[in-house]
Amino acid sequence: MSSATNANESYCTFTLASDATAGGLPSQEEIAKQLESNDPKIKRHALKAAIMAMLGGEAMPRILMQVIRFCINSDDKPLKKLCMLYWEVVPRYQEPTSDEVLRAASGGPPVQRKLLPEMILVCNALMNDLNHPNEFVRGSMLRFLCKVKDEEILGPLIPSIKACLKHRHQYVRKNAVLAVFHAHRLHGESLIPDGPELVGEFIAQETDMAARRNAFLMLYNESEDLAIQFLARNLDDVSKFGDGFSLLVLDLTRKACRRDPNQKSRFVRVLFQMLSSNSAAVSYEAAWTLISLSNSPTAVRAAAVTYTTLLNTQNDNNVMMIVLERLEQLKKKHSKILQELLMDILRALSSPNPDICKKVLDVAMALVTSKNVAEVVTTLKREVAKTTQESSDSSEDKGKVYRNMLIQAIHGCAVRFPDVAESVVHTLMDFLSSDGGMQVIIFVRAIVERYPALRPAILSKLVSTIDEVSNSNVMCVCLWILGEYCETSETVKDAFDTITEQLGEAPFIVQAEDKKAREKAAAEAAKGPKMVTKNVVLADGTYATQTIYSEPKINLASLDKTPHLRKMIVGGDIFLGEIVCSCLTKMCLRAPDVGIDAVTTKGMTVKALLIMCGVVKMAEVAVSAQKSSLADCQERVTLCCRVLLDPKASALLKPTLLSEGKNSFAAFLKNLQEKEAKDKEESKEEVVSAQADDLIHFRQLRSMTAQGGDIDLDDGTDLARATGYADGGSLLSNELSHVYQLSGFADPVYAEAFVTVHDYDILLEILLINRTPNTLSNLTVELSTMGDMKIVERPQSHTIGPLDQMTIRASIKVSSTETGHIFGTIVYEDASTQEKGYINLNDIHMDIMDYIRPATCTDEVFRSMWAEFEWENKVAISTSIKDLIEFLDHIVSSTNMTCLTPHDRNERGSFLAANLYAKSVFGEDALVNVSVEKKDDNDGKLAGYIRIRSKTQGIALSLGDRITSVQRGLLPNKQ
């Protein structure tokens, strides 16, 4: 109950079912007549209707006495509860006149509240319920009193509330403590000045856990000294008092240490006890509170052990993610302690959620050292092996994404610690034919370049497993490695023979006989099962009819024994054919240098030339999606043939072909390593140090918040992180950017809305100000939406006094990432002239950026999604920005996306291509490809296209509109 000067500012804390309003609300006379009935059901229905009508702005002054006369002394429990709801919304004070309100608004004396005379009878009824012999009635009334804020009503009830503290039933006692707490917090000095002492005596004798917890909550907020004294006397029994009591103790710890850090030592003992609590919430809160209180290795180690225990015992993905976030923060300052628990952290890889596994690997990889790298790699290899087991295995459900994460983690370990490279590379090469083959071959390519000593063994393993590779991209990288790094006669011969054997003889086109055989096999498979019916003799000598469904067993694999490499070339893979030609050319050029005789070299050259001719013929016959593929193939293969046949061309191009590719790749790895080192340098542990000229902070002269260097126990940091506000300084500006003016200053009713977007929910807080000297009744804000939005809570009708204001709320559900509009009108009725009016409101444009979050993915995943998604929006580039990198940065920042394509900002070219990726809060993927060119013949202006792809049409169109509005380089105006 609010202590408002206007009865219409009352509110109800419960939601009533709509059955009371079915068919329209009855009139005041009908409700009054129904309340006189002897049937409790009729009374309940009438009282519900009265509550709904009063919440809608109807005064209904006659109903108060009817409720006092016919409902207040009823023994019907639902009717008693409805009476409590009625006391919440009923006007308890006399309405001020217009003259009093105008005098108060013009600087005169404030309006004095006058309690209605009928409230004396209500107080008497409330006191009767407080003294009722039924404990449920007493407890319900005590709970209701926790919502009453009026001193005039609470005053006469204080003796009865105190008497309930000694009631025999715990339900009454625990609610009585809350009632005392509520009364003391609002009117402590005037109503119940001895509240803390009274509760202090109560908690010393109380045995019920809920009542004890409520009593401690009262002492914690109203008398901290008494709470600390009780805690000191019962330190050994805190674990027996329940989870709710333990959480309050942790709150008291943070509050006390925030005010006086010297209190830390008093609470450390109880914190260590709570670390082993059976409740996950208590142990988690105790762990991070202990870390905030103390930086000693013992405290940090105990908290870290608690975190890892929670990580491995909890099944809730949200809990696991929160614990991993805490471990990541702990890693920044106490990495050495976490290194001891690294293997316990890796146990969380058993989670079926790939996001959890990714977070575990992110935390664990930063803790790998030369001491534990062997154990870590063994664990990762075991996890990779699990992904190849039968589909019933739990890790198989995570799919190739999890396998790729594991391979990347092993790759990182091998790069940082060369000693383990040899032990992992052979294991991973067994997965070249699996879904994660691309990740494996990229890892092998880097290892071959960085560790020359491992090349012979790796190349031998690669040659023996190349026949198992069925992916075109993986095969391309395998052939490039063999062409670049086969530097001995044995490896060159083995690799050349294996590749030519896999390719077979030219031509590389589908022969007529093979085509007929395949068509015949496909026709046989399409025929399906045959039904055969025959008579059989049963065991007892009788005859029976037996129907058998026979299906032809065709093993397509046994029919087609073509090697994978030849199958891909014959299938029309022109780019792979070019790679094969380049690889064979390099081997033929390197053959004389590694000691292969001239006859063998000449035979290799002839074979290579025949294969090249077959590849060009295949390119001419193949139906390619890109017309330039044939021309590119002819040009590149012609170059290879000329190098092998023309001695002058061979002398000129041989150094380039044999060494430039390797050198470029080595430079790429070097740049990548330097970038990683630079990022690592930036993310080094922050060393807190004090300088001689630093300011001295006097806590007594500062506010009650803790200073940053001493202790960080402020829950506000967690709240800011949860709501998305990184710092408090931008809080006000962020809120103001979400305020929309709905009507003009000259309108009879001024309206503005504050919009809060939280994932699937949009909350509108609409401020209404009556700018007329008359009372406006039945004022309703009628809202409508356009787009995938649905209004789930519409504003009720209200009556607003002259020059008065109120705030109403509306809730909207969003189902997809799509630009939407909210529009509506205000309808009202002038109480003095009985004239109706309406005001059209300005539209609220919901920005798609409220739902877009930056995200990352691998190039392979991006390409697969790009090929899968069907909705595409193509936006032509038209901008005043003239620098390529600047334009890309502008698009990335304006669309809240992540750029997946690395760029060297020092290089200045005339063309730029980049892939951008983001995810919506609804899990929808947004893919953007930027292709922009700086044309010299167009005054240096940028031209090109931005292509957006998504699985749904809404996000593609909305993101396209956003890019169109921001690409010119000007900040978009707020709608």
Residue-wise pLDDT tens digits, 530-582:
666 777 767 666 777 777 665 554 444 444 578 888 888 888 888 888 899 99
What are the residues whose beta carbons fall under 8 Å from the beta carbon of 402, sequence distance 6 or more?
354, 357, 387, 395
Which residues, listed in sequence order, are joined to residue 944 by a DSSP beta bridge? 932
**What is the separation of C-alpha 419 from the centre of its chain, rounded to a whole number of angstroms?**
38
- Of 415, 453, 411, give the one whose Cα is nearest residue 429: 411
Q: Phi/psi class of residue 877: alpha, beta or left (left: φ > 0; alpha: ψ in -120 to 50)?
A: beta
Burial of 682 per CB tally in 10 Å (0-12, 13-18, 19+) = exposed
Taken as a whole, the chain contains a residue count of 975
CA distances from 697 to 56, 687, 707, 709 (A): 55, 20, 8, 10
Residue that the structure tokens 């947004």 belong to: 926
The distance of Cα 288 from the centroid of its chain, to the nearest Å, equals: 22
- Whole-angstrom distance, CA of residue 395 vs CA of residue 387: 6
Name the DSSP letter for residue 8.
G
User: Do the Cβ atoms of 324 and 359 come closer than 8 Å?
Assistant: yes
pLDDT at residue 240 in the model = 80
Secondary-structure percent of the chain, ordered helix, strand, coil, rounded to 5: 60, 15, 30
**Residue pair 270/236 in contact by the 8 Å Cβ criterion:** no
Residues 6+ apart with CB under 8 A from 872: 947, 948, 949, 956
Contact at 8 Å (CB) between 956 and 920?
no
Note whether 410 and 381 are within 8 A (CB).
yes
Q: What pLDDT, on a 0 to 100 scale, did the predictor assign at position 952? A: 82
What pLDDT does 401 receive? Answer: 78
Residue type, 705: T
φ, ψ for residue 549 (rounded to 5)? -95, 115
- Measured between its terminal Cα atoms, the distance across the chain in Å is 38
Torsion sign across C-alpha atoms 418, 419, 422, 428: negative
Q: Pick out the chain residues at pLDDT < 70.
A: 1-24, 388-399, 510-532, 537, 539-541, 548-560, 623-628, 679-735, 759, 816-819, 907, 938, 968-975
Contact call for residues 282 and 312 (beta carbons, < 8 A): no
Give the separation between CA 807 and CA 810, rounded to whole angstroms: 10
Tell whether omega for the bond before 507 is within 30 degrees of 0, i.e. cis.
yes
Q: What does the block give as tokens for 145?
A: 């009193």
CA gap 484, 665 in Å, rounded: 11
* Backbone conformation region of residue 118, classed left if phi is above 0, alpha if psi is from -120 to 50, else beta: alpha
CA distance 30 to 40: 16
| 47 in Cβ contact with 86 (< 8 Å) | yes
Structure tokens at 955: 């996000």
For residue 194, report the phi and psi dihedrals to the nearest 5 degrees.
-95, 20
Q: Decide if 506 contacts 577 (C-beta within 8 A).
A: no
Q: Which residue has the tokens 């009265």?
A: 50
The torsion angles phi and psi of 502, rounded to 5 degrees, stand at -70, -35
Within 10 A of 657 (CB to CB), how many other CB atoms are there?
19
Neighbours of 101 (CB within 10 A): 21
Q: What Cα–Cα distance (Å) separates residue 77 from each residue in 40, 586, 666, 709?
A: 10, 93, 82, 57
**CB distance 268 to 692 below 8 Å:** no
Residue-level pLDDT at 473: 86
Q: How far apart are CA 803 and CA 823, in angstroms?
A: 25
Q: Supply 861's token pair.
A: 């995943």
Say what the pLDDT of residue 372 is: 87
Alpha helices for 206-316 (secondary structure H): 209-222, 224-233, 243-259, 264-274, 280-293, 297-313
Q: Measured on CA atoms in the order 22, 23, 24, 26, is the torsion positive or negative?
A: negative
Tell me the sheet residues that pair with 541: none
| Residue partners of 318: CB distance under 8 A and separation at least 6 | none
> Count of CB atoms within 10 A of residue 158's CB?
17
* DSSP assignment of 657-708: IIIIHHHHHHHHHHHHHHHHHHHHHHTPPP-----TTPPPP-GGGS-SSPPT
Number of H helices, E strands in the chain: 41, 18
The token duo for 199 is: 């509760």
**Helix (H) or strand (E) segment spanning residue 345:** helix 342-346
Q: 24-51: b or e for each residue (b if 16 or more CB lie within 10 Å)? A: ebbebeebbebbeeeeeeebbbbbbbbb
- Do 607 and 583 touch, CB atoms closer than 8 A? no
- pTM comes to 0.63
Residue 871: per-residue pLDDT: 87
Question: d(Cα 635, Cα 657) in Å, to the nearest integer?
Answer: 15
